[in-house]
Structure formats: structure tokens, C-alpha cells
């Protein structure tokens, strides 16, 4: 069951410091309003052709509405690991069950471009059907690495700052 916008802003999340150490708990709405550091998992879903699935965030989202983003992403709940969060978000947002192999890629420190989230980035390979969560995602698209390179190189404002930063890091590793 998905929460409404008001209920989402009342979710409790861990506030962390620059070292990603938990320093307290606060409501999501307060965290976003004050720019407090917190955590998210970002998942890049590739298919066997090497294409990456990007989601277009729902226009009802409180952060970056209507922009193209990672395949799946979400806040880490209190006491939850980054990997458990990634698995939960894959299931909730895309209908991908937990049997998929998640590969940890890298972490990005919290900054303005990540919405003050420390991000753990994972990748997985998946060729099955996707069930997009309509409260979270307006649409999705499989893009080739070349197509994403072009969007990122052109500083396409239809992409979230976080996914541009993540993609640059992915390409730098290759």
C-alpha cells in the first residue's frame, strides 16, 4: 500500500552526518525542508542488451517531480541496510522480486546534487517484465549507454542531478 503525500512527509528517517553516521531521527518532510543529510539506495537496472531502464518520476513526487531518474531508488528506513532498501525499492517500484543479483557499485557522499542523500548505488541485470508503481513512476524507458551519454553530456534538465552524477561515475569506471 502506498502512502499519500502527507503521510510520506511524516515518515521517520535517519539523519546522518558527513561520514554517514546516524545522529538522529526526523520526519521526512523536515529532513527535506532543512536539507539534512540522510540515506538512499539507487538501483540501475540493465538488460542483457546493455540498455539501462530509467524511470520518469511521478509529477506528484515532492522531490524532482516529472524528471527522469535511476531505475529505482528510495530512502533507507531506520535500521535498514542500503542493500535491503535496494531490494525493497526494486519490488515496490518495478515489481522485481528479490531473487535478482544486486551488485554494489559505489557510494556518493551527500550533497546538494543528491538532495543531501548519501547514495549507495547498485546495479542488476534483468530481462523480465516490469510492473511500474503508478504512485511513484509516470513512465519508463530503456536507453542505450550512448543515449544516456548524450543526455548527460548535454546537461539535459529532464534528468535528475543525481542520475547525471551517478552516470558520470558509472562511465568513469568503464
Q: pLDDT tens digit string along 106-147? A: 999 999 989 999 999 999 999 999 999 999 999 999 999 999
Rounded to whole angstroms, the Cα distance separating 80 from 71 reads: 20
User: Is 24 inside any structural domain?
Assistant: no
User: Is 127 inside any structural domain?
Assistant: yes
Q: What is the CATH number of the domain that holds 152?
A: 3.90.79.10
User: Is 83 inside any structural domain?
Assistant: yes
User: Is 71 inside any structural domain?
Assistant: yes
Per-residue pLDDT, 2: 45
User: Is 5 inside any structural domain?
Assistant: no
User: Is 43 inside any structural domain?
Assistant: yes
Domain count, the chain: 1
**Contacts for 67 with CB less than 8 Å, ≥ 6 apart:** 56, 57, 158, 159, 160
Nearest to 127 by CA among 70, 56, 42, 48: 48
User: Is 17 inside any structural domain?
Assistant: no
Task: Name the β-bridge partners of 57.
Answer: 137
In the predicted model, what is the mean pLDDT of the chain? 93
- What would the pLDDT profile of 57-88 be if each residue is shown by its tens digit? 999 988 899 999 999 999 999 999 999 999 99
**Confidence band, pLDDT 50/70/90 cuts, at residue 174:** confident
Q: For residues 23-48, give the mean pLDDT.
A: 96
Amino acid at each position: 500500500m502506498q502512502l499519500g503525500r502527507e503521510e510520506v512527509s511524516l515518515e521517520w528517517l535517519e539523519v546522518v552526518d558527513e561520514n554517514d553516521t546516524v545522529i538522529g531521527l526526523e520526519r521526512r518532510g523536515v529532513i527535506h525542508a532543512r536539507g539534512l543529510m540522510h540515506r538512499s539506495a539507487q538501483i540501475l537496472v540493465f538488460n542483457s542488451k546493455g540498455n539501462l531502464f530509467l524511470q520518469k518520476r511521478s509529477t506528484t513526487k515532492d522531490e524532482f517531480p516529472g524528471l527522469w531518474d535511476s531505475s529505482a531508488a528510495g530512502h533507507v528506513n531506520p535500521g535498514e541496510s542500503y542493500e535491503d532498501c535496494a531490494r525493497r525499492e526494486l519490488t515496490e517500484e518495478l515489481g522485481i522480486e528479490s531473487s535478482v543479483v544486486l551488485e554494489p557499485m559505489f557510494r556518493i557522499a551527500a550533497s546538494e546534487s543528491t538532495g543531501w542523500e548519501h547514495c549507495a548505488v547498485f546495479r542488476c541485470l534483468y530481462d523480465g517484465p516490469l510492473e511500474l508503481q503508478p504512485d511513484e513512476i509516470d513512465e519508463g524507458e530503456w536507453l542505450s549507454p550512448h543515449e544516456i551519454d548524450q543526455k548527460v553530456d548535454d546537461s539535459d534538465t529532464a534528468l535528475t542531478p543525481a542520475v547525471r552524477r551517478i552516470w558520470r561515475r558509472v562511465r568513469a569506471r568503464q
